[in-house]
Amino acid sequence: MGEIRELSDINLEVSLGPIRLKNPVMLASGTCGYGRELTPHLDLNSIGAVVVKGISLEPRPGNPPPRIFETPCGLLNAIGLENVGVKAFLTEKLPWLKDQGISTVVNILGNSVEEYKRLCSILSEESQSILAIEINVSCPNVKAGGVAFGRTPEGTYEVVRHVVEVTEIPIIVKLSPNVTDITSIAQAAQDAGAHAISLINTILAMAIDIEKKRPLLGNTFGGLSGPAIKPIALRMVWEAHRAVDIPVIGIGGISTWKDAVEFLMAGASAIQIGTATLVEPGSAKKILDGLTRFMRQKGYREVEALWID
């Protein structure tokens, strides 16, 4: 048994500004549907929070197929943010999450500042049932020629500044890794009033079908996720944590509890599990159990004690 120290007073709770989580393990948007889909495999009340699939003002059909392609160590997807739209989300999806008492974060997307604002105002009517709103800033800004909001500090600042004005629900800004300097974007989110940031979203990538001599995805480009992106995500979490004072949520290729520990050591206060859930739907609980065991064995009494100074 060696050095194992059993501590009964280990505290897994984390506070992301005003957002309280019973433990730091969350499910990432787009990989757990609207929560209910996972119930045969995972007790959603055992984890910190569920981040539902990105919601837009109107329903979206998504991109033409093929939309998913598996690479040797990661997943390429070009789903195109297919979702039921905010109205159906509030009437058909949220009531179940609310009844089950599941900590729910609503991920949102828009193509203009107005759309983000409108979504936040609509969601505010259900503020009792929504723990936080996660703003996906990787969407194209139609007024800026289709450049994603999250590509520039200015674009990020503009969206966040407006949404914090229209809702009391805490705001998490989900950063795109497809940028030159993640620190300036993280700082822009903080300056605009974000309560926390989460990173990373998928990395822009592609694959080619050499027999058909054309791109494999219907959309040509897609987002890479899974183990392939973990070292990049970890570096960005490390940089972002050192650039801002608000809490950081680490995402990107977390498949095992050891991966989770690395992100927490890099400075994350919580983590999200994405592609690993698609591989094994119960991954999040296994990761939580492994993390808890590690903290007990090593004598870490709280999550942020894992940070490397």
Ligand X SMILES: Cc1cc2nc3c(=O)[nH]c(=O)nc-3n(C[C@H](O)[C@H](O)[C@H](O)COP(=O)(O)O)c2cc1C
- Least distance CB 100 / ligand X (angstroms): 21
**Nearest residue (beta carbon) to ligand X:** 30
Nearer to ligand X, 55 or 306 (CB): 55
Active site residues: 139
Q: Are 60 and 89 in contact (CB under 8 A)?
A: no
Which of 24, 153, 252, 267 touches ligand X (CB under 6 A)? Answer: 252
Nearer to ligand X, 105 or 122 (CB): 105
The binding track of 126-165 with respect to ligand X, each residue x by CB under 6 A or -, is: ----------x-----------------------------
Residue count at the site for ligand X (CB under 6 A)? 26
The binding track of 87-116 with respect to ligand X, each residue x by CB under 6 A or -, is: --------------------x---------
Nearer to ligand X, 92 or 302 (CB): 92
* Residues 260-289 within binding reach of ligand X (CB under 6 A): 273-276
Task: Please provide residue 295's backbone torsions phi and psi, each rounded to the nearest 5 degrees.
Answer: -65, -40
* Residues 11-40 within binding reach of ligand X (CB under 6 A): 28-31
Nearer to ligand X, 30 or 110 (CB): 30
Which of 42, 44, 53, 248 touches ligand X (CB under 6 A)? Answer: 53
Which of 10, 12, 79, 232 touches ligand X (CB under 6 A)? Answer: 79
User: Is 253 a residue that touches ligand X (CB under 6 A)?
Assistant: yes
Nearer to ligand X, 4 or 73 (CB): 73
3-state secondary structure the chain: CCCCCCCCCCECCEEECCEEECCCEEECCCCCCCCHHHCCCCCHHHCCEEEEEEECCCCECCCCCCCEEEECCEEEECCCCCECCHHHHHHHHHHHHHHCCCCEEEEECCCCHHHHHHHHHHHHCCCCCCCEEEEECCCECHHHCCCEHHHCHHHHHHHHHHHHHHCCCCEEEECCCCCCCHHHHHHHHHHCCCCEEEECCCEEECCEECCCCEECCCCCCEEEECHHHHHHHHHHHHHHHHHCCCCEEEECCCCCHHHHHHHHHHCCCEEEECHHHHHCCCHHHHHHHHHHHHHHHHCCCEHHHHCCC
User: Is 63 a residue that touches ligand X (CB under 6 A)?
Assistant: no
User: Is 187 a residue that touches ligand X (CB under 6 A)?
Assistant: no
Alpha-carbon distance 28 to 253, whole Å? 11
Which residues contribute to the site for ligand X (CB under 6 A)? 28-31, 53-54, 75, 77, 79, 81, 107, 136, 174, 201-202, 225-226, 229, 251-254, 273-276
